[in-house]
């Protein structure tokens, strides 16, 4: 199971929200590059970089942070938040991301998203299924749709998508454990799904449970920043 630390960016700083609520913001580090280097130094290979300003405003804002981390580390970076147009996705790749993280656009303009799959290849896209009561949420989690997560994943798998991460918003940032039942149900329904868990991870036991449930990766944020999971513990999964 791949360990993918998250760095969420607001105003160029490393922050975390609780349940996607922008009013519940904690700043963990003024310099995201320092955080990325710390991850790289313990042997972590992947990074989940989220432009929360971009997600809220609907356009990429913190591309300079991406450029800095991409140029000064060897981390495989997926970058998301505000990717809406062909120019946006080109910007993400031009500034050093290996994968473009896409969520809202795959719901609101699926035809455009499907053209990206054909143009860039499924290996260059990391599709986020943000979920509230098994329905897809979009726009930095500010809007819940009527789209079932099961229908959403099924349709995108048909189009060739390979990498999906699923975040249960009700779990995110609370450090009360991930949505194990949801992930088990998804993997049972889609046994060939390359599923990355996200949200709620609180301790090293959660990681073992996710691995046992069949998750191929896990995105971890607050548990690392709050010291609930140490770098030494993460090394056992590397």
Q: Write out the two tokens for 235.
A: 């090394």
Q: Burial-class residue 75 by CB neighbours within 10 Å (0-12, 13-18, 19+).
A: buried
The C-alpha atoms of residue 230 and residue 221 are separated, in whole angstroms, by 12
Q: Is 130 a catalytic residue?
A: yes
Q: Write out the two tokens for 72.
A: 């000064």
Exposure on the CB side of residue 128, measured as CA atoms within 13 A: 31
Do 101 and 76 contact (CB within 8 A), yes or no? no
Number of Cβ within a 10 Å radius of residue 6? 19
Q: Is 8 a catalytic residue?
A: yes
Is the CA virtual torsion 83, 108, 142, 144 positive or negative? Answer: negative
Check 8, 88, 168, 206 and give the catalytic one.
8
Distances (CA, A) of 136 to 56, 100, 146: 16, 19, 7
Check 78, 130, 172, 206 and give the catalytic one.
130
Distances (CA, A) of 198 to 72, 120, 142, 169, 206: 26, 25, 17, 9, 11
Active site (catalytic) residues: 8, 130
């Amino acid at each position: 199971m791949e360990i993918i630390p998250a760095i969420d960016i607001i105003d160029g700083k490393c922050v975390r929200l609780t349940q996607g609520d922008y009013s519940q913001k904690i700043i963990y580090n003024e310099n995201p590059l320092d955080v990325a280097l710390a991850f790289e130094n313990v042997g972590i290979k992947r990074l989940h970089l989220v432009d929360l300003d971009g997600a809220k405003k609907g356009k990429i804002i913190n591309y300079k942070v991406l450029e800095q981390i991409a140029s000064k580390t060897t981390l495989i970076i997926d970058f998301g938040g505000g990717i809406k147009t062909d120019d946006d996705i080109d910007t993400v790749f031009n500034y050093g991301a290996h994968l473009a993280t896409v969520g809202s656009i795959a719901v609101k303009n699926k035809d455009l998203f499907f053209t990206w799959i054909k143009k860039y290849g499924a290996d260059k896209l990391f599709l986020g299924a943000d979920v509230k009561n098994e329905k897809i949420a979009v726009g930095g989690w500010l809007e819940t749709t009527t789209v079932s997560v099961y229908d959403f994943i099924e349709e995108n798998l048909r189009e060739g998508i390979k990498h999906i991460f699923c975040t249960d918003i009700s779990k995110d940032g609370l450090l009360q454990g991930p949505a194990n039942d949801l992930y088990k149900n998804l993997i049972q329904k889609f046994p060939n799904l390359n599923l990355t868990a996200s949200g709620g991870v609180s301790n090293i036991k959660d990681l073992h449970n996710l691995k046992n449930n069949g998750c191929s990766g896990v995105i971890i944020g607050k548990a690392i920043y709050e010291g609930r999971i140490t770098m030494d513990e993460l090394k056992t999964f590397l």
